[in-house]
A and B are shown apart, each in its own frame.
Chain A
Amino acid sequence: MHNNAGTIRAVALGCREIVPQVLIVDDGSRDADLRALMADTGIPVIRHEVNRGKGEALLTAARAVSERGGTTMIAIDGDGQHYPRDLCAFLPVIAEDPDAIVIGERDMSGPNVPGSSRFGRKFSDFWLRLETGMPIRDTQSGFRAYPVRHILALACAGRKYDFEVEVLARAAWAGLPIRNVPIDVWYPPAAERISSFRPFMDNLWLTHRHVLLVTRRFLPLPHRKLVTHPDQKKRGTALGFWFFIMAVRFTGLRGAYGLLFIVCSWYALFDSAIVQSALAYLKRRFPTHGPLRQRWNVYRLFIAQGRCLIDRYYLIHGGDQLRFHKRNFDQITPLLQCERGFLLLTAHVGNWQSAMVSLEGWKKTVHLLMRPDPHEMRTQKLGLHQHADRVRIINPAGYLGGVLDVMNALDAGDIVSVMGDRDYENSRKVAVGFMGGVAQFPCSGFVFAHAARRPIAVLFSAKTGPYDYDVQIAGIIASHPGETKAAFIRRGAQEYAALLENYLQHHPLQCFLFQDIWKSSATKSNA
C-alpha cells in the first residue's frame, strides 16, 4: 500500500470480517502514519521506510506470512478498487489447489473504467500468453492468492509493478497452476482516482520485463519445476514454435541469431543456476581460465546452443540452406549393408537433429529413444520430411523404459539411437574417467548392445560455420566374444568417454550437457 491512507482502514477491516489474519505492508507512504491509523484494530503494519515498489511489498508480505506459519496469502490493493467480500471467491479454490496462484478476474463492464485500463489488460494478457504459452486471464489484477513458499522460491527479478507479471510467467514455467475467480472492481470517477502507477515509467519497466521474459521463454534451457503435473508439461509449445518460425521467416537465420546476443548476455550475467550448470563442464575444459574468462565462455556456450536451436527450428520449418559434411561414414558402411541392426550412441553436443538429417539415404529405419515432442512430430517429423516414415520415436517413459521396442527394433535390423552422455534421471550409471575427473555415464546403450549382440556407432555433430555442420562417426564400439556385460559396460563407456573428450578438444563450445555429470550421486551403478 502506498499513499492509500484514505481507504486502507476500511479495506483491512473488511478483509478481517472474512479471513482471521490480515497484514498491511506500507510501502513508504508519506500521506499518513498507518501504524497509528491501525493501532486500535490490532492489524499489524510492516513499513518500508522508503518506497520500494509493489514487488518488494508483496515479497515482504510473503516473508511475513511465511514467518507466521502461513501457507497462502491473498493480496488486495489498498486503494479501495477491490471489494473484500470477493475474498470468499478465493477460499474454495485455494482449499482445492494450494499450489495455485489464483487471480481475481475483474469485471470491467462497470462505469468509469478507463479505456487505457482495458487496453493495458489485454496487452498484458497477450504478453503473458507469449511468455507462458497458456491463456492467463487478467494478468494485471493485483487481487490474487499466492502460495507463499513457491513465490519465495521463484526468484523474480522485478521489484515494481513488473513483479506481478513476472511472477505469473515464472510460476507457469515452474508448473504452478494459475486459476481465475471472478471479482468486481470499483473505478472511482477520474478526479478521485489515486493510483501509484506512473504510466510512462512503469509501462517502460513492464515492457523491459516482458522482453526479458519472452526471450527467456525461447532460450532452450530448462526451468526449475516447483510442481509437476504430467498433463501440463507440453503446454505452450505451439505458440513458441510459431514465434520462432516467424522470426526465422522475417529475419533469416542471421537475424534470428542476432537476437541471441541480448538474451545470452543477460543469462550469462544474471541467471546463476544456469551458469553453474554450464560451469561444471567449462571448468574442466578450461581449467586455467579465471572467473571472468569463464563467464565469457558461458556466454559463448549459450550463443552456440541458441544457434543450434534456431537451426533446429529452421530445419523443422523445411529450411534447406544448411550443409552437412559427413566424416568417417565409411566406418559404418558394413553395418548399413548388414541385415542386422546396430546402435547409434550420440551426445548433447552440436545438433543431434542435424545429425539425423545426414542419415537420409540410409535404407534402415532409425528409432530415437527420446521423449516425443508432439509439435515436432506433427509438423515436419524432425526435419526428415522426405524420410519421415524412416524415423520412429521410442518413448523412454513408456513401459519398461521402452526396452521391448528397442530390442525388437534391433532384432528387426533397425538402428536405435541413444544418448550416451546423459539420459533420464534414474537410469543406471557407470563411472568412467572423463576430462580429468570421474563422470557418471548412462549404461543403457551398452546394455542394449551387449544383450542384442550388436555394435555401437558413436555419432557426434558440430556446427562449424553459419551454414555448415560436421557429422562424424567418431568410432565403433563392439563387445568381444565372451566379454561379460559388466566388463563391456565399463570398457565401452570408457571408450565412448575418450571419443567424446577428443571431440570436445576440437569443438569446446558445442557441449550442451548442462549437468554436472562429475558430481557423484547415489544412483544405481552397474560396476
Chain B
Amino acid sequence: MHNNMNNTNLPKEELLQKVRAQLKELLVSHLALEDIKPEEIGDDEPIFGDQGLGLDSLDAVEIVVLLQRNYGLNIKETEKGTEIFRSINALANYIVENSPHPLGAESAAAEEEK
C-alpha cells in the first residue's frame, strides 16, 4: 500500500503535515474538545492517558470510527493499537502508509470528480 503518491500527488512530508493538521481538526470536532484548539495539539503528545491530550478509552471509540469512515482503516490487532494511537505523528504515519485516501473520504471523492 505505498501508492498514496498516486492519490494525492504530494511529496510524503507535505502529505504527512496535511494529514496531521486534518487529524487534529477532526479530533477536536468529533470529540467536542471545547477547550482545545487544533493547533494547540502537539505532534508527539500522547493521545490517551494522564498526560498530553488525556483522552480516555471511550474517546478511542470515536477515533476507531473516524479511521473506519474517513480513512477506510480497521485496526484488527489490539497490540498494533498501542503503537498507532501513541501520538498524532504515529497516527498520521499509519494513515499515510495504509489508507487508500489519506486525506479522508471527502477529499478522495473530490479528487475523483476533477
Contact = CB atoms under 8 A, between A and B. Distances in A.
Contacts of A403: 57-58, 60-61, 64
A404 interface: yes
Contact of B48 (A398, A400, A428, A444): A400
A408 B74 contact: yes
Contact of A451 (B57, B62, B74): B62
A524 interface: yes
Contacts of A406: 61
A447 interface: yes
Contacts of B79: 399
Contacts of A524: 56
B58 A447 contact: yes
**Helix, strand, loop or mixed for chain A's interface?**
helix
A473 B48 CA distance: 36
Contact of A400 (B68, B76, B85): B85
A347 interface: no
Interface in A372-405: 398-405
Interface string B50-74: 0000001110111011001000001
Interface string B76-106: 1011011001000000000000000000000
Contacts of A411: 68, 74
B77 to A, nearest CB: 8
Nearest to B48: A400
Contacts of B81: 399-400, 404
A400 B74 contact: no
A443 interface: yes
A255 to B, nearest CB: 44
A309 interface: no
Given A400-B48, A524-B56, A407 B78 contact: no
A452 interface: yes
Given A399-B78, A399-B81, A443 B58 contact: yes
Interface of B: 32, 48, 56-58, 60-62, 64-65, 68, 74-76, 78-79, 81-82, 85
20 contacts: A399-B78, A399-B81, A399-B82, A400-B78, A401-B60, A402-B78, A403-B61, A404-B81, A405-B78, A407-B64, A408-B75, A411-B74, A427-B58, A428-B56, A443-B58, A447-B61, A451-B62, A451-B64, A486-B32, A524-B56
Q: 7 tightest CB-CB pairs across the interface, nearest first? A: A401-B57, A400-B57, A400-B60, A451-B61, A451-B65, A407-B64, A447-B58
Given A399-B79, A408-B75, 9 more contacts: A401-B56, A401-B60, A404-B75, A404-B78, A407-B61, A407-B64, A428-B56, A428-B58, A451-B62
